Amino acid sequence: MSRSPWNDRDWSNHPDLIYPDYKSTVLRNPKKPLLKLDKIKQIPAPKFQTSSLRTIDADLTLNAKKDHDPIGERIIVLGKVKDEYGRPVPDCLIEIWQANSAGRYVHREEIHDAPLDPNFLGAGMTLTDQNGDYKFTTIKPGSYPWGNHQNAWRPAHIHFSLLGRSFVDRLVTQMYFEGDPLFKYDPIFNSIPDEKAKDRLVAKFSIDQTIPDFAHAYIFDIILRGREATPMET
């Protein structure tokens, strides 16, 4: 059987395992050559049911609300998850996590001294529908310092974790926002060598999906595998 032209990772679209400007990659990535597996079975992943999730799980403005709305700009993030052939991927579990509008995570080891928002947890999940579509409502995250280099600040972003119908349909990545002035200073974003691949990490503002008097909308389509795959980024 002939090999698919995208069995091997296309390193022009994905960051190197070790990227010195992104300092933690030097310590946490393998130093020895990776073992190549020529044949990998597409082992089915756990199948998640819509009944196992609540509607509120996809609304980060409500799922941790106690007495007030979360502080910050309310946004809608939506898109379609596709495979390498452009086919929709239904029943794909999508989990997101993010900083609040001040740039702070709800995490016991968080060191940024920005304020916490008692009405915002910064985590949610959903399943794609039969057309591969998904949607979240959340608060636009703030930038934060991260200590990688002098005066280092991360661009505003949302973390995505996806698990499709098999374990090869697995992706962890980050979604950014158009026009962020911090792009050119960020070694995580710039570890991706190809400009088109970088662009696939940037959500596009949509006036058509924006809900009047409620929230701006951003479209973030995701491709799990193939030459046009959304880059793996952690």
User: Amino acid identity, residue 141?
Assistant: P
| Cα angle value 11/16/22 (rounded, 5°) | 150
Catalytic site residue from 19, 22, 104, 105: 105
Question: CB of 105 within 8 A of CB of 117?
Answer: no
Is there a catalytic annotation at residue 134?
no
d(CA 36, CA 136): 37
User: Amino acid identity, residue 167?
Assistant: F
| Region for 86 from its dihedrals, namely left if φ exceeds 0, alpha if ψ lies in -120 to 50, beta otherwise | left
Catalytic site residue from 14, 104, 157, 225: 157
| Region for 160 from its dihedrals, namely left if φ exceeds 0, alpha if ψ lies in -120 to 50, beta otherwise | beta
Is there a catalytic annotation at residue 28?
no
Catalytic site residue from 104, 154, 200, 225: 154
Q: Which of 198, 202, 233 is nearest to 19 (CA)?
A: 233
Catalytic site residue from 14, 22, 104, 159: 159
Neighbours of 45 (CB within 10 A): 17
Catalytic site residue from 19, 134, 144, 218: 144
Neighbours of 217 (CB within 10 A): 20
- DSSP secondary structure letter of residue 53: S
Q: Which of 150, 207, 136 is nearest to 178 (CA)?
A: 207
Is there a catalytic annotation at residue 159?
yes
Residues belonging to the active site: 105, 144, 154, 157, 159
